[in-house]
Amino acid sequence: MTTFETSEGLRHLLERLADAGHGAWSTDPEAAELMVFTIQKYRSLAQKHHCQPEDSAAAAFEAMRTDAVRRAHDPWAVVTRAVQVTMIAEERANGLLCSPAQARRTQVSCHHDARRFSDSEANLLDFHPALRADLSAPAAPTRSPDLPTGAFEAIDQAIALFVALGWPLNTATCALDYIAARLIECGNRATTHAMLRRDHSARALLDLDRPAWATLLRLTLGAQSPGLKSTYAGHGILLQLLIGDNVTDLLADDELILEISQTAPRAVRRSEVA
């Protein structure tokens, strides 16, 4: 039995790696043996939650780098619990079609897994009442131009603005829909901005670099500086659209156009990759 298979042996190894500083995990032979052992140790746990064994090793690695594991009465017990929680989140994320960070939230994990229409033998029209259309019913009245812009319409207009200025349609749609969903959860722009600014998983899924993500949040939710609170910059695109401005008004702002176009994700050409 290698020393790190016991709790005290693991503690000793983790303390030595922590004292060695940056790069110790990638160069220490015993650390490599520990990761191989971890994959084998949590293989069945990962498979139970429909994950790869290597995913459990990644979760264990993140836990082992914390002070809480090194100081725990039983380090292996803490690591095992951390791996279990991560595997559960990974499984729920795969079912809910969201990130593991979102799947950890109670308000998200309480929903059932996403289902395909083809998974049900029921007739499509009988699957859910919302899918039925009463053709005999009168058409819904069109919105009067004098009525204020609704929240969903504001999102659609914002997406159209970003796409017109060079953003890919899929990226703009996913990013603005995600921001709008978090805004509904938080209830105000300042809290939403603060939460999303630290949401690294969303930025990674959208494949946006840090400056582009920060600029997107500032432009859509408004700058959070107290001195800009009552200005257009402080309002943000979504609020401007909701209070009566339209896309034409926003396009008159040269600085806004420049920032949106400069932060647009660019497709990598094959020649650049080669």
Cβ atoms within 10 Å of 33's Cβ, excluding its own? 13
Calculate the dihedral angle through the C-alpha atoms of 263, 264, 269, 271, rounding to the nearest 10 degrees: -20
Q: Could you give the maximum distance between any two Cα atoms of the chain, in Å?
A: 77
Q: Backbone phi, then psi, for 34, in 5-degree steps?
A: -65, -40
Counted residue by residue, the chain has a size of 274
Poorest-pLDDT segment among 144-148, 189-193, 197-201, 249-253: 144-148
**What value does the mean pLDDT take over residues 115-144?**
59
**What value does the mean pLDDT take over residues 216-230?**
82
**What value does the mean pLDDT take over residues 237-265?**
85
Q: Reply yes or no on whether the pLDDT at 27 is more than 80.
A: yes
Q: Reply yes or no on whether the pLDDT at 271 is more than 50.
A: no
**What value does the mean pLDDT take over residues 255-274?**
67
d(CA 30, CA 26): 10
Q: Of 245, 244, 189, which is closest to residue 218 (Cα–Cα)?
A: 189
Query: What single-letter DSSP state applies at residue 143?
Result: P
Q: Does residue 151 contact residue 181 with C-beta atoms inside 8 Å?
A: no
pTM of the model: 0.45
Poorest-pLDDT segment among 59-68, 127-136, 154-163: 127-136
Q: Does residue 161 contact residue 240 with C-beta atoms inside 8 Å?
A: no
Poorest-pLDDT segment among 19-33, 104-118, 202-216: 104-118
Residue with tokens 């049900």, as numbered in its chain: 120
d(CA 222, CA 238): 8
Q: Does residue 208 contact residue 215 with C-beta atoms inside 8 Å?
A: no
Q: Does residue 70 contact residue 15 with C-beta atoms inside 8 Å?
A: yes
On average, the pLDDT of the chain sits at: 82
Kindly provide the b/e burial profile for residues 80-100, where b requires at least 16 CB atoms within 10 angstroms of the residue's own CB.
bebbbebbbbbbbbbbbebbb
